[in-house]
Structure 1
Amino acid sequence: MSRVLCPPLTEEVIAELRVGEQVLFSGRLLTARDAAHRLLVATLEAGEELPVDLRGQVIYYTGPTPAPPGKVIGAVGPTTSSRMDPYTIPLLAAGLKGMIGKGHRSPEVREALQRFRAVYFVTYGGAGALLSRCVRKVELLAYPELGPEAIYALWVEDFPAWVANDIYGADLYTDSCHNCRG
């Protein structure tokens, strides 16, 4: 049975998650890709307030396509997470607790996940149309000039993901035993 996660994520929930565990997100996820990450980090470096509060939040690395008639959103598949690695550590320091994407993370990001007590999740690559069925509502939050790469809030129900990196240093891509609990 999959654990249901409803962001914002608490320290207690983060501590229970282990590599290989399937979760279902219900509630609000934020979206952001490269361009939005670059702007967020520039804002932090300038000492300014972010346009969204990242504390406890989960960012889904996606750029939604326009909604077809009668739908809430178009395809909403994950983008390659390593493209966000140069921007991840400052966002973790700002309170980000989870990220969803596809592919592995750099050693620096994996170490930062342990230090800042955050989790990296992966979801189905190539299944953006299927994943869009989990989205109930969409709201533009910041950087509208970026189009699909703007920051959106997605209200989701039973959005599937797996823990790829936990706060204990385990890695779905390199460890031979997934979901080991000792």
Structure 2
Amino acid sequence: MSFIKICSPFDEETISSLKAGDRVLITGVIYTARDAAHKRMYDAIQLGEDLPFNLKGQVIYYVGPTPAKPGQIIGSVGPTTSERMDKYTPALLEQGLKGMIGKGYRSKEVVNSIQKNKSLYLAAIGGAGALIARTVKTVELIAYEDLGTEAIRKITVVNFPAVVINDSYGNDWYEEGAKNFNSMEQ
């Protein structure tokens, strides 16, 4: 199984080089945020307020890390269901967000916005949160501390594994996989 090594934040060259189905290892900075943090960022955008971090080129991982055990910097970091962020995603992409990591399908509106804004949606492996935590090297709480595990954190990762689901060309790996599977059944 081969992986493409990429760095975060994402640049245009990285985004345009990746296609739905590509397996990647991400090294660099990723921000964590879930439902409540997304709503706050969305509301801030609507009110013309500053966001807690500059979204340009950044990647958000849909995760609420579990508390760290003694000797660890972070607990389990398994992905949460991405569609819960769909209401807020187009506004964040318009602000320059270039990557999202989660699990599950995205709405047609989000897939269209990903293509329009030349971004990527990637999936992490659900159920592998403890293993994914091993890729996290630093953690810094940066906003919305009152949200507990759903607060925004800036994490640095090395070789974080993910699969490109929706690429900047409008391709959807879930749809392609289903078509391939259905053609094998016939």
TM-score, length-scaled by structure 2: 0.93
Paired residue secondary structure (1:43): helix
- Within a 5 Å distance, the mapping from 1:2-17 to structure 2 comes to 2-17=3-18
Q: Which residue of 2 aligns with 1:35?
A: 36
Cα distance in 1, alignment partners of residues 69 and 93 from structure 2: 34
- Within a 5 Å distance, the mapping from 1:1-182 to structure 2 comes to 1-175=2-176, 176=179
Query: Could you tell me how far 1:47 is from its partner in structure 2?
Result: 0.5
Counterpart amino acid of 1:133? R
Paired residue secondary structure (2:92): helix
Larger helix fraction of residues? 2
Cα distance in 1, alignment partners of residues 56 and 103 from structure 2: 22
Query: Could you tell me how far 1:6 is from its partner in structure 2?
Result: 1.3
Query: Could you tell me how far 1:60 is from its partner in structure 2?
Result: 0.3
Cα distance in 2, alignment partners of residues 108 and 27 from structure 1: 28
Q: How many residues align?
A: 178
Counterpart amino acid of 2:116? R
Query: Could you tell me how far 1:5 is from its partner in structure 2?
Result: 1.7
How many percent identity over aligned positions?
53
Query: Could you tell me how far 1:27 is from its partner in structure 2?
Result: 1.0
TM-score, length-scaled by structure 1: 0.95
Cα distance in 2, alignment partners of residues 49 and 171 from structure 1: 32
Query: Could you tell me how far 1:7 is from its partner in structure 2?
Result: 1.2
